Copies of this chain bind each other. A is one copy, B any other.
Amino acid sequence: MAEKFPESTKNECLARMLTVRDALDVISGKWKILIIISIMSGNKRFREIERSIPKISSKVLAKELKDLEEHQLIKRRVYDESPVLVEYTATDYVFTLEKVIEELHNWGANHRKKILEK
Protein backbone atom coordinates (compact mmCIF):
# COMPACT_ATOMS: atom_id res chain seq x y z
CA MET A 1 0.00 0.00 0.00
CA ALA A 2 1.35 3.39 -0.92
CA GLU A 3 1.73 5.92 1.80
CA LYS A 4 -0.87 8.59 2.26
CA PHE A 5 1.36 11.58 2.65
CA PRO A 6 4.20 10.67 0.29
CA GLU A 7 5.40 14.22 0.04
CA SER A 8 5.63 14.72 3.74
CA THR A 9 8.80 15.57 5.49
CA LYS A 10 9.50 14.52 9.02
CA ASN A 11 8.48 17.93 10.25
CA GLU A 12 5.20 17.85 8.45
CA CYS A 13 4.45 14.47 9.91
CA LEU A 14 5.30 15.74 13.36
CA ALA A 15 3.20 18.86 12.93
CA ARG A 16 0.25 16.77 11.86
CA MET A 17 0.66 14.62 14.94
CA LEU A 18 0.86 17.51 17.33
CA THR A 19 -2.21 19.15 15.90
CA VAL A 20 -4.23 15.96 16.14
CA ARG A 21 -2.98 15.51 19.66
CA ASP A 22 -4.30 18.96 20.56
CA ALA A 23 -7.72 17.76 19.53
CA LEU A 24 -7.43 14.45 21.32
CA ASP A 25 -6.35 16.13 24.53
CA VAL A 26 -9.71 17.83 24.69
CA ILE A 27 -12.12 15.20 23.45
CA SER A 28 -10.57 11.82 24.07
CA GLY A 29 -11.54 9.62 26.93
CA LYS A 30 -14.23 7.10 27.45
CA TRP A 31 -17.06 9.52 28.13
CA LYS A 32 -16.62 13.00 26.67
CA ILE A 33 -18.05 12.44 23.22
CA LEU A 34 -20.94 10.46 24.63
CA ILE A 35 -21.80 13.29 26.99
CA ILE A 36 -21.60 15.78 24.15
CA ILE A 37 -23.94 13.64 22.06
CA SER A 38 -26.33 13.37 24.96
CA ILE A 39 -26.45 17.12 25.46
CA MET A 40 -26.68 17.78 21.74
CA SER A 41 -29.63 15.40 21.71
CA GLY A 42 -31.44 17.64 24.13
CA ASN A 43 -30.68 16.21 27.52
CA LYS A 44 -30.17 19.08 29.92
CA ARG A 45 -30.45 17.97 33.50
CA PHE A 46 -27.75 16.14 35.40
CA ARG A 47 -29.83 13.07 36.14
CA GLU A 48 -31.25 13.09 32.66
CA ILE A 49 -27.80 13.01 31.11
CA GLU A 50 -26.71 10.39 33.60
CA ARG A 51 -29.61 8.12 32.71
CA SER A 52 -29.01 8.56 29.01
CA ILE A 53 -25.49 7.15 29.15
CA PRO A 54 -25.27 3.51 30.14
CA LYS A 55 -22.94 2.71 33.04
CA ILE A 56 -21.74 6.20 33.73
CA SER A 57 -21.50 7.17 37.40
CA SER A 58 -22.38 10.50 39.00
CA LYS A 59 -18.81 10.99 39.95
CA VAL A 60 -17.42 10.61 36.47
CA LEU A 61 -20.22 12.62 34.94
CA ALA A 62 -19.66 15.51 37.34
CA LYS A 63 -15.98 15.57 36.56
CA GLU A 64 -16.43 15.35 32.82
CA LEU A 65 -19.06 18.07 32.79
CA LYS A 66 -16.61 20.38 34.55
CA ASP A 67 -13.95 19.57 31.97
CA LEU A 68 -16.31 20.22 29.10
CA GLU A 69 -17.41 23.49 30.61
CA GLU A 70 -13.81 24.61 31.04
CA HIS A 71 -13.24 23.95 27.39
CA GLN A 72 -16.38 25.93 26.61
CA LEU A 73 -18.05 23.01 24.93
CA ILE A 74 -21.05 23.17 27.20
CA LYS A 75 -22.70 25.77 29.37
CA ARG A 76 -23.90 25.20 32.93
CA ARG A 77 -26.76 27.39 34.15
CA VAL A 78 -28.23 27.45 37.62
CA TYR A 79 -31.78 28.67 38.04
CA ASP A 80 -32.33 29.62 41.59
CA GLU A 81 -35.82 28.41 41.93
CA SER A 82 -36.61 26.06 44.64
CA PRO A 83 -35.50 23.41 44.35
CA VAL A 84 -32.42 24.60 42.54
CA LEU A 85 -32.50 23.67 38.88
CA VAL A 86 -29.34 23.11 36.87
CA GLU A 87 -29.20 22.96 33.10
CA TYR A 88 -26.39 21.94 30.82
CA THR A 89 -26.60 23.06 27.21
CA ALA A 90 -24.47 22.91 24.12
CA THR A 91 -22.45 26.02 23.25
CA ASP A 92 -21.93 27.31 19.75
CA TYR A 93 -18.38 26.12 20.02
CA VAL A 94 -19.27 22.48 20.52
CA PHE A 95 -20.88 22.55 17.10
CA THR A 96 -17.45 22.90 15.54
CA LEU A 97 -17.07 19.28 16.63
CA GLU A 98 -20.02 18.19 14.56
CA LYS A 99 -18.00 16.87 11.67
CA VAL A 100 -15.60 15.03 13.92
CA ILE A 101 -18.51 13.31 15.59
CA GLU A 102 -20.17 12.60 12.29
CA GLU A 103 -17.05 10.98 10.90
CA LEU A 104 -16.55 8.95 14.04
CA HIS A 105 -20.13 7.83 13.74
CA ASN A 106 -19.72 6.87 10.10
CA TRP A 107 -16.57 4.99 10.78
CA GLY A 108 -18.03 3.22 13.79
CA ALA A 109 -21.00 2.07 11.76
CA ASN A 110 -18.78 0.87 8.98
CA HIS A 111 -16.44 -0.88 11.37
CA ARG A 112 -19.26 -2.69 13.09
CA LYS A 113 -20.48 -3.90 9.71
CA LYS A 114 -17.02 -5.15 8.93
CA ILE A 115 -16.74 -7.05 12.19
CA LEU A 116 -20.14 -8.69 11.77
CA GLU A 117 -19.44 -9.75 8.19
CA LYS A 118 -16.59 -11.99 9.18
Contacts and interface: CB of A to CB of B under 8 A. Distances in A.
Interface of A: 1, 3-6, 8, 10, 12-14, 16-17, 19-24, 26, 28-30, 33-34, 37-43, 52-54, 75, 89-93, 95-112, 114
A29 B77 CA distance: 32
Contacts of A89: 1, 3
B112 A20 contact: no
- Give the dominant DSSP class at A's interface: helix
Contacts of A108: 19-24
Contact of A75 (B1, B14, B23): B1
Contacts of A99: 103, 106-107
